[in-house]
Chain A
């Protein structure tokens, strides 16, 4: 068991200008489940591979526990990795696959068999030990890949999108199983995914990356409630937060003909540079209001999920104003009383649901 520390770790691929990972500072506690999340090309996989030793660290350092592993080969780092493709050895049986690292380490046959059997029992693979990967289902292969990591009892587990090759239902199942398993083993885990739902449901803490830069690292709840900038606000949460930019006027931000109230001091600080301000509301933080109150939107699509209904709406034509992500405003409503498509609905922000960002720096203003 150990902590993992990135200290200003940077990776610049040969013949590229921009670093793939730029001065990453991150400390992962002993036994913590940390998820690296971000859109493709954000540097999350590169960060993981730097920790694994599969990618060079150009500047900065990486520590596992107290050891500086920046220049150690992968085998000396006491880590185990689960790959997206699982990377199982096709000519070896499940048992041989799981025991390969132990065999290379010169551990005795009986001991290997015992540890493999133990891991197989945890992962419900005991009946498949003599099979080859080819004869297993996708979910079983995934578990073998997990088992290969478990038997080594390493200091750190590294997982690179291990669920992305499973179908949707199995993914949700396996997601909880992996999270449970990690809590049970208590092994420090770094998990890479592009799926923010996975990140939120699995991680003790989630680190959001974009363009090689760490945007924010916090617990799922804190990320959701207090996103550090407009990118994190839009990335975390499904459906995404509504972000709208408009000119700052007395008492709020103008959206077309209506004015959305924003507290005076936050408005002043957010609009100091540009004269405009970005505001964000989560879909569940908008509520229906009486006509004339708040701002009007036209319903385009109604998404019925049973427990919730989401209205995909737009600001009326000629009334749009300047917007950040899309002209859509998504609203959660009671599923039984959803308005019909084409209806005009007046909305206002629920108290405490307002996020304010500076349009120039994109940073959160409190």
Chain B
């Protein structure tokens, strides 16, 4: 940085300034600033090139495709239909079913996941023996492949030989046909998601907790706050920005949920159960594009998912901004 910024400055100083007529000054200055910062731009360019090629272009191309009736085998050869795909999507009961499922699975997964993560982080924040071991263990589900984890959980939730039904029977309860029911299947999928992401979020919370000064807890202790009150009045308020962040990340993950419902039945069908009881938006998109070959319709669904994420994240940002303003 030092080298990059120094040499142009020297050039600037050396340039004869009085000769420049005042009228031409602004453009000259802009050009100079551009050349002055050229190394800065050069250093950030690789990222933006890759971002453009692999994110921005596909993103815009998806928008373009969503305005066409086109099939998987001939993506470029579609016919322009304007917003028809969007109208179809909004009128499709499959879309609303998938949206509802995505919402309920999302809530079932995200809320307990984040609550448990805060609790676990709080426990791990104590001086425990073998703390590093527990922290590593927490991250292991995250390191497991979705496919492997889902197949194992599908076995556990199996109707005839699943461990969970066996356990339910052992304590005198009835077997549950997890896969075929709406709530039961969504609950089971939420369990997989929760299992996979709780540790990850707990580590993020733990990192944030460790930056809370210990004197705050001591002050609270002297003020007469019990452990629980300390958690409520010191830990949680200090974690608020982190909690907002994890909510955003988990929400994005929930809207894009795909692998778990795809593999839950064990056979990789995109229908999300016999009556679509756990078909998510991601699954619907895949079904439209790769089972029904309507790639234009799939692109439309993809854009709809993007809009939903944008809406949720924007809402979060607004809430965060309002709270920050109220804080001041």
Contacts and interface: CB of A to CB of B under 8 A. Distances in A.
Interface residues of A, number: 24
B225 A80 contact: no
A104 B35 CA distance: 61
Contacts of B216: 87, 89
B229 interface: yes
Given A54-B218, A100-B233, A105 B238 contact: no
Contacts of B218: 52, 54, 74, 81, 83, 87
13 contacts: A54-B218, A54-B222, A73-B221, A74-B221, A85-B213, A85-B215, A89-B237, A91-B327, A100-B233, A101-B222, A104-B225, A104-B229, A135-B328
Interface string B190-226: 0000000000000000000000010110111111110
A343 B180 CA distance: 102
Interface string B259-288: 000000000000000000000000000000
Contacts of B234: 89
Contact of B223 (A85, A91, A104, A135): A104
Interface string A52-87: 111000000000000000000111000111011101
B327 A101 contact: no
A316 interface: no
Given A83-B215, A132-B327, A132-B328, A89 B233 contact: yes
Interface in A333-364: none
A221 interface: no
A83 B213 CA distance: 12
Interface of A: 52-54, 73-75, 79-81, 83-85, 87-91, 100-101, 104-105, 132, 135, 148
Contacts of A101: 222-224
Interface of B: 213, 215-216, 218-225, 229, 233-234, 237-238, 240, 327-328
A80 B222 contact: yes
Contacts, number: 62
B224 A104 contact: yes
B224 A91 contact: no
A83 B219 contact: yes
Contacts of B225: 75, 100, 104
Given A89-B216, A132-B328, A79 B238 contact: no
Nearest to B327: A132
Chain B at the A interface: SS class: helix
A259 B162 CA distance: 99
Given A89-B233, A89-B234, A135-B328, A75 B224 contact: yes
Given A91-B238, A104-B224, 19 more contacts: A52-B218, A53-B222, A54-B222, A74-B221, A75-B225, A79-B222, A81-B222, A83-B215, A87-B213, A87-B215, A87-B216, A87-B219, A90-B237, A100-B225, A100-B233, A101-B222, A104-B229, A132-B328, A135-B328
A74 B222 contact: yes
Contacts of B240: 91
A333 B327 CA distance: 57
Contacts of A52: 218, 222
A84 B216 CA distance: 11
Given A89-B216, A135-B328, A75 B237 contact: no
B138 to A, nearest CB: 27
A164 B201 CA distance: 38
Contacts of A132: 327-328
Contact of A100 (B213, B223, B238, B327): B223
Contacts of A85: 213, 215
B327 to A, nearest CB: 6
Nearest to A73: B221
Contacts of B233: 89, 100
B229 to A, nearest CB: 6
Nearest to A149: B222
Nearest to A96: B233
Nearest to A54: B218
A89 B222 CA distance: 13
A225 to B, nearest CB: 37
Contacts of A87: 213, 215-216, 218-219
A83 B214 CA distance: 11
Contacts of B224: 75, 101, 104-105
A79 B219 CA distance: 11
A308 B6 CA distance: 50
A74 B216 CA distance: 14
A160 to B, nearest CB: 9
A75 B213 contact: no
Contacts of A73: 221
Contacts of A75: 221-225
Contacts of A80: 222
Contacts of B215: 83-85, 87
Contacts of A89: 216, 219-220, 233-234, 237
Contacts of B219: 81, 83, 87-89, 148
B207 to A, nearest CB: 18
